[in-house]
Amino acid sequence: MSTAVRLIMKEWKAFEYNAPDYIFAGPMKNDIFHWHAIIIGPPDTPFADGIFNLDIIYSYEHPFKPPKCTMKTKMFHPNISSTGKISISILEDDWRPVFTIEKILLSISSILDTPIMDHPINRKAARCFRENRNTYNSIVRKYTSKYANGSSTDSDNEQDLLPEMLHTDTDSENEQDLPPEILHTETNNSLFDFLCFILIFLGILDLILDFYTFFK
C-alpha cells in the first residue's frame, strides 16, 4: 500500500468521524483517489439549502500536491468559473501537506457567501457582487433553485435562466452581457468622476489666477 493511499484512507476515517453535518465526502467505487463531495448551502444566504456537488481527484503524490476539486453544480460565484474550477489559495500556492479534505470543504463552504475578491476567476460575478449586491443575490438564488436542487442535470440550459447575461461565456467581461443595473451604476460613477475632475481643475485654475494676481 502506497503512502498516498494509506494517508487518504486515514483521512477518510477521520472525516467520517469529525465532519459537520453540512458537508459530505467519500471515495467513488473502486477508486480511493477519486471522491465525490457535497456541500449544503449555508443558511440565511442566497445559497441556502442548495445541494452543491464536487468532484475531487487526489494526486498520486498526495499529500505534497493538492487534490483537484471541481464544482459540478452550476453556480454564479466570483471564485468559481463556469466550468467549475475553484480558485482558492489552499488549492494552489498556499497548499500544505497537513490540509485535509475537511479543511478543503470547509474553506469552499466559507467562500460561498464570503467570496475572496482579490483574484476572482469569474469576473462577471465579481463585478456584479461589487457593484450591485441585490442583483448578485437574486442571480445566485435563481442558480441555486434551478441547479442545486438535487435533481438538475448537465443538460439543463443555462441560457434559459438569464438569457440577457449568458449568451456568452460567464467569465467574459463584455459589457453587453451585464445586467442593466450594473451598467447604470457604471454610468453614474463615470459622470461623478468627470464632475470631480472639473471641480478640481477649476480649483487649480483659481489658485493659479490668485497667485498671478498677487505677484503682478
Average pLDDT over residues 159-174: 45
What is the CA angle 172-144-106, rounded to 5? 90
Sorting pLDDT into bands at 50, 70 and 90, what band is 157?
low
Instruction: Delineate the domains of the chain, giving CATH numbers in brackets.
Output: 3-148 (3.10.110.10)
Q: Which residue has the cell 461623478?
A: 192
What local confidence, expressed as pLDDT, does residue 189 receive? 47
Could you tell me the pTM of the whole model?
0.72
Cell triple for 86 = 475553484
As a 3-state breakdown, the chain gives helix, strand, coil percent values, each rounded to 5, of: 45, 15, 40
Question: Order of strands across the sheet with 23-28?
Answer: 23-28, 31-40, 51-57, 68-71
CA 146-152-155 angle, to 5 degrees, is: 105
Q: Is the pLDDT of residue 93 over 60?
A: yes
| 87 pLDDT above the threshold of 90 | yes
Span 40-65, pLDDT tens digits: 999 999 999 999 999 999 999 999 99
Grid cell 442545486 in the structure block, residue: 148
